[in-house]
Amino acid sequence: MARNRKSQSGAVRFVPALKAFLLCLLIGGSAVGYVLQKNKIYELGRQIRDKETLLARLEWDNKVRANQLAHLQLPNKLAERVKEQKLGLGLPQPGQMIWLPEPRAEQQTNQTAQLFVLGK
């Protein structure tokens, strides 16, 4: 004989509601997690773009400063600065120079290849 709903326990009536609640919780949690991950990816992408822009600007500044340094190290520019600052520097006189002879490379007397003997 079929039972009616009045004779069922409260736990049996509660199970479908619990299943629906857990399913909604799972779907809602997945949606929230998806949105959080998308926001994190967007934020990281923006940070990468900002860092790349900063890197490009710093590389350009570095190139400009390297050109300025190269320009300041030109011999005629250095001579001008020495004259402006009245440092009294100039080319050395011939008597102030010491010439060192270039050492000759020693030539090998035996032109054959080196032979090595392995000992026992």
Q: Give the relative orientation of helices 10-72 and 75-85 as an angle to the nearest 10 degrees.
A: 70
CB-based contact 23:30 (threshold 8 Å):
no
- Other Cβ atoms less than 10 A from the Cβ of 82: the count is 13
Q: Locate the domains of the chain by residue range.
A: 12-86
SS (H, E, C) 12-60: HHHHHHHHHHHHHHHHHHHHHHHHHHHHHHHHHHHHHHHHHHHHHHHHH
108: left (phi over 0), alpha (psi -120 to 50) or beta: beta
Q: Is the dihedral of CA 82, 88, 92, 96 positive or negative?
A: negative
How do the pLDDT tens digits run along the chain, 120 residues long?
456 656 666 667 788 889 999 999 999 999 999 999 999 999 999 999 999 999 999 999 999 999 999 999 998 998 899 889 988 888 888 889 998 988 887 776 666 666 666 666
Q: Is the dihedral of CA 103, 109, 115, 118 positive or negative?
A: negative
pTM score above 0.85: no
